[in-house]
Chains A and B, each alone.
Chain A
Amino acid sequence: MPGDSNKSEGQGPASSPLPHSMNLSKRLLQPSRYVPVSAATFFLVGSTTLFFCFTCPWLSERFSVAVPIYNGIIFLFVLANFCMATFMDPGIFPRAAEDEDKDDDFRAPLYKTVEIRGIQVRMKWCSTCRFYRPPRCSHCSVCDNCVEDFDHHCPWVNNCIGRRNYRYFFLFLLSLTAHIMAVFGFGLLFILYHHQYIDRLHAIVTLAVMCVSGLFFIPVAGLTGFHIVLVGRGRTTNEQVTGKFRGGVNPFTNGCWKNVAHVLCSSQAPRYLARKRYVQSVCVQPPFLRPQLSEAQQTAKILDNGLRGDLHRSKSSLDMQESQSCDAEPPPPKWELRYPGITRGNYNMLNKTPPTPTMYKYRPTFSPGKNHTPLTHAYANQVMHQPGFRSQPSLDRGDTSSDRAGRVAGGERKESGEGGGIPGYSLHSYTSFSDPVVLSGVASQSSGSMQTSACAAQISETTTTSSSFKSLANQTPPPTHPAHNGSLSYDSLMAGDDGFDKAVSAGSKIPEISSGRPCSPAAGGYMSSSHPSKQRDAEMHSEFPKHHHLLLHRSASSTCSSPPERETLLVESQRSNRPSPFCQTSVPPASSAQHPPHHQHHHHSHHHHHNHHHSHNHRHHHSSSTSHPSRFIAPYLPHRPYPHRACSTDTPLGLTSSSTHHPSHSPHHPPLGKSLSYSSAAAAEMQYQLIRKASSAAGENAAGVAGGIQAPKSTRWNCSDGPARLFFSSTASTSSVSHCAILSNGPLRAGVQKLTGGEDTTYEIYV
């Protein structure tokens, strides 16, 4: 029969050699596999032949010659489709090459989730074929192959039914039903006209043929009807039988008509095995062209990329050999020496700082984002690493002015934000937080730069973050995994840096912390890394207005919740220009449901952070440096379920840890976190509740206003007045807190209202 011949083997000679050949011989020696197909062939051909020989001659004479012609055509159709269904390659995937699967099996997660038209679909790792099965692909145990769009393994044709031969199988069923009906009908007609000659041979044979066809008609018609429904619904037998979309939405359907058209009218899908290989003659010879530096800067770097791009400039090869600030600090040990198990594929992504151990848990391959994940960690560590070196002020200075800013801010905000990023970062490094003028200047600068850079970085960012989190989200955590969420802090411990850096690096899985890139989806995703909802959040976040993207990173510590987003949105919008209410309304308020499952994770991660952050705060907070409590509202929010943690004076978990997550996001963050650490428990609790009740955006709004506008008075925010300061001025905490409580329960109007009272100006945050 024309087409691909693939009866029992299941793959052609061009696929990987040994296992297949062995299976081939085994399969050939299995006679039981051929019984059904032999029986089917026998009955089909035999009955039809008898029909043509004994019944049709009389019918053609008695009625018309069209009868045998019609039957002949239908039978030919049946045979053609039967042969195509039997011998055609159903769409077998060749085994993946060894280098495609760089990681060991044990380290790879079993499932990878992919979002198809808004629906999460799981891709399972096929240990035989060595790749993650594409959606709708399944491994046939009979044929020992992964088949694309796997429908079922049909014993009657002794072949898998997949993408390539489903049409022929379906047409075979249709035509066979028609054929059986025709044979039965014409045989009945013959018998009706020969009832008095029933003992003659022709009649007996016709009766036998009628019995066979009548017997087979019921299952064949049932199967045909079943597949007609499947085709109309756009499902495979495998999906129907396993109940994948029972009560749910099928992401693979395009509507009944298009589904039918796809089955019947689409072009014949290509064979993957046994293809003619065209030898490509390519000359690959160094020296190689390299993209120019300016181009590298201009390319929108995803999360980590931007930072690494600058780092790469100093490198001539893929190896990350020296840190950019090699003058300031000794370069970390080479990647291989630290992690000999890591293959080269991931090597070039790693930076001076050691990658976090959690990186290994994630399967770096099979996702473009995968490679970014370790880099994210590495860079996060690195970035956070720098400011923490209080003992090396030269580091900050040297880095800040050129490398740091360029790396952190410039790298990420390629097109525009370099100017804004540098001063912002330098502020962060230094203790110039207490200079409100500088801060406000930075705020406006950074906001402007953030907007532009966010625009540029947004598109690639979102896809990257979402994709990188795909690799993160659906990994089956190994038994040691529960530590991972908190293990980010362990990474910092490994780094051996100060607590702040550790906490920061641990918390900020999103690499571009400093430049406020739209990493909040990543951040949110990270927080609930085990939840696929994170991906949805990431996607959700990616749709936000560009200039809000930068804000989102602040809520990185939040568990992919929109309220933190709203907070951050409002903060930034307040800062740059008046926020439009749409940014709140555009945020779906439904993230609260996601918090309960996430907070545990989040809590866990923060739990490790506060200790580090605490030490860091001691370092950062010289005097009552200006802090911007508003900025910490957003990160604070995710800690809602654990108000006590946030409230505790010695372990300001939510506030401080959240601030640690984004120390470099803005120069304002660290002082704020530090100030919050001194808040009283009650005030913090009240504040926490206020945050819960009011929309987080409102709170962020007020905070942002307070932070941005109140720069000259920002010193007051740092005082040990308590968390109530987040919402109000630093007057008596209790009164303001109570006032705050009332206000927060007010109408849901976004905005911040300035209320004068006491010695300070009080801001009412309402949603």
Chain B
Amino acid sequence: MRPFKLWQQAAIAAKVFIQRDYTNGTVCQFQTKFPSELETRIDKQQFEETVRMLNNLYAEAEKLGSHSYIEGCLACLTAYTVFLCMETHYEKVLKKIAKYVQEQNDKVYAPRGLLLTDPIERGLRVIEVTIFEERSLTR
């Protein structure tokens, strides 16, 4: 179901789910707490940096600024037909997030046997981190 292609030389050992942080309400934020399962796989700072960056991006997506206000007015005036042609601000940021997740996977997580799943695929409820087994031929 997760449509990423793996050159499968590693099997999935475990999955860690980073839950949402609801301390500020329903704003999309994820907990930056470092899960114990990842201790041996990645640096805490690196991981927290990733989550913080994601949180910032989601905050930017949900920000009530002139951008979203103009978009709303335009949509009203055009009887929402503008949604057929234009991408909403949130969707634009989601694309940015997807690119960021991909980049993080390529640069940071895949070399460490981890894989981040874009939270949008889980309904923005969790960040799924897949931990791969370190199986080598010598073992």
Partner-B contacts on A (CB < 8 A): 1-3, 76-77, 79-80, 84, 93-94, 96-97, 99-100, 114-117, 121, 131, 134-136, 148-149, 167-168, 171, 251-252, 254, 258, 261-262, 264-270, 272, 275, 277-291, 295-296, 299-302, 304-305, 308-309, 312, 315-318, 344-345, 347-349, 365-369, 371-372, 375, 460, 463-464, 467
**Which of these, B22, B37, B122, B126, contacts A345 with CB under 8 Å?**
B37
Q: How far is the CA of A460 from the CA of B48 in the complex (A)?
A: 11
A467 touches B26 (CB 8 A): no
**Which of these, B4, B25, B89, B132, contacts A288 with CB under 8 Å?**
B132
**Which of these, B24, B41, B80, B120, contacts A290 with CB under 8 Å?**
B41
Judge if B44 is at the interface, Cβ distance under 8 Å: yes
Q: How far is the CA of A493 from the CA of B120 in the complex (A)?
A: 46
Q: How far is the CA of A519 from the CA of B113 in the complex (A)?
A: 32
B25 touches A261 (CB 8 A): no
Q: How far is the CA of A136 from the CA of B22 in the complex (A)?
A: 11
Contact partners of A97 in chain B: CB under 8 A:
1, 122
Partner-A contacts on B (CB < 8 A): 1, 3-10, 13-20, 22-26, 31-37, 39-45, 61-64, 67-69, 71-72, 75-76, 79-84, 88-91, 94, 98, 102, 105-106, 110-113, 115, 120-126, 128, 131-136
Name 23 A/B residue pairs within 8 A (Cβ), A-sorted: A94-B121, A135-B26, A171-B76, A261-B64, A267-B63, A267-B68, A268-B89, A270-B124, A277-B3, A278-B98, A282-B6, A285-B10, A286-B10, A286-B136, A289-B111, A305-B39, A308-B39, A344-B14, A345-B14, A347-B14, A349-B36, A368-B35, A463-B32
In the complex, what's the smallest C-beta–C-beta distance from A209 to chain B, in angstroms?
A: 24
| Known interface pairs A79-B79, A289-B111; 15 further A-B residue pairs with C-beta atoms within 8 A, sorted by A's residue number | A96-B122, A100-B126, A116-B24, A262-B64, A265-B72, A267-B72, A280-B105, A282-B5, A283-B7, A286-B9, A299-B34, A302-B34, A309-B39, A318-B40, A371-B37
**Which of these, A121, A265, A344, contacts B64 with CB under 8 Å?**
A265
Contact partners of B90 in chain A: CB under 8 A:
267-270
A296 touches B115 (CB 8 A): no
Contact partners of A116 in chain B: CB under 8 A:
22-25
Highest count of chain A CB atoms <10 Å: which of B5, B45, B123, B133: B123
A84 touches B40 (CB 8 A): no
**Which of these, A115, A288, A344, contacts B41 with CB under 8 Å?**
A288
A115 touches B23 (CB 8 A): yes
**Which of these, A3, A136, A368, contacts B31 with CB under 8 Å?**
A368
**Which of these, A252, A289, A315, A464, contacts B25 with CB under 8 Å?**
A252
Q: How far is the CA of A252 from the CA of B26 in the complex (A)?
A: 7
B31 touches A467 (CB 8 A): yes
A288 touches B112 (CB 8 A): yes
- Closest A-chain residue to B73, C-beta based? A265
Q: How far is the CA of A281 from the CA of B134 in the complex (A)?
A: 19
A296 touches B40 (CB 8 A): yes
Highest count of chain A CB atoms <10 Å: which of B4, B17, B72: B17
Given A267-B89, A286-B134, residue A1 in contact with residue B14 (CB < 8 A)? no
**Which of these, A149, A268, A277, contacts B121 with CB under 8 Å?**
A277
A99 touches B15 (CB 8 A): yes
Contact partners of A283 in chain B: CB under 8 A:
6-7, 110
- Closest B-chain residue to A121, C-beta based? B22
Q: How far is the CA of A115 from the CA of B67 in the complex (A)?
A: 31
Contact partners of A277 in chain B: CB under 8 A:
3, 121
Given A115-B23, A317-B134, residue A280 in contact with residue B68 (CB < 8 A)? no
Q: How far is the CA of A218 from the CA of B1 in the complex (A)?
A: 50
A3 touches B80 (CB 8 A): yes
A284 touches B69 (CB 8 A): no
Contact partners of A115 in chain B: CB under 8 A:
22-23
Q: How far is the CA of A349 from the CA of B14 in the complex (A)?
A: 12
**Which of these, A262, A267, A299, A344, contacts B39 with CB under 8 Å?**
A299
In the complex, what's the smallest C-beta–C-beta distance from A311 to chain B, in angstroms?
A: 10
B132 touches A284 (CB 8 A): yes
B14 touches A318 (CB 8 A): yes
In the complex, what's the smallest C-beta–C-beta distance from A464 to chain B, in angstroms?
A: 6
Contact partners of B20 in chain A: CB under 8 A:
134
A315 touches B40 (CB 8 A): yes
Given A369-B33, A371-B37, A460-B34, residue A286 in contact with residue B121 (CB < 8 A)? no
Q: How far is the CA of A692 from the CA of B87 in the complex (A)?
A: 64
A268 touches B88 (CB 8 A): yes
Highest count of chain B CB atoms <10 Å: which of A100, A281, A287, A289: A289
The 9 closest A-B pairs by CB, nearest first: A288-B113, A280-B4, A299-B44, A80-B79, A267-B68, A267-B89, A93-B123, A272-B123, A268-B88
**Which of these, B5, B79, B122, B136, contacts A281 with CB under 8 Å?**
B5
A366 touches B19 (CB 8 A): yes
Contact partners of A301 in chain B: CB under 8 A:
39
Contact partners of A308 in chain B: CB under 8 A:
36, 39
In the complex, what's the smallest C-beta–C-beta distance from A467 to chain B, in angstroms?
A: 6
Contact partners of B40 in chain A: CB under 8 A:
290-291, 296, 309, 312, 315, 318
Q: How far is the CA of A135 from the CA of B26 in the complex (A)?
A: 7
Contact partners of B41 in chain A: CB under 8 A:
288, 290-291
A291 touches B43 (CB 8 A): yes
B110 touches A282 (CB 8 A): yes
Given A116-B23, A282-B105, A305-B39, residue A93 in contact with residue B6 (CB < 8 A)? no
In the complex, what's the smallest C-beta–C-beta distance from B122 to chain A, in angstroms?
A: 7
Given A282-B110, A285-B7, residue A312 in contact with residue B39 (CB < 8 A)? yes
Contact partners of B32 in chain A: CB under 8 A:
463
Contact partners of B39 in chain A: CB under 8 A:
291, 296, 299, 301, 305, 308-309, 312
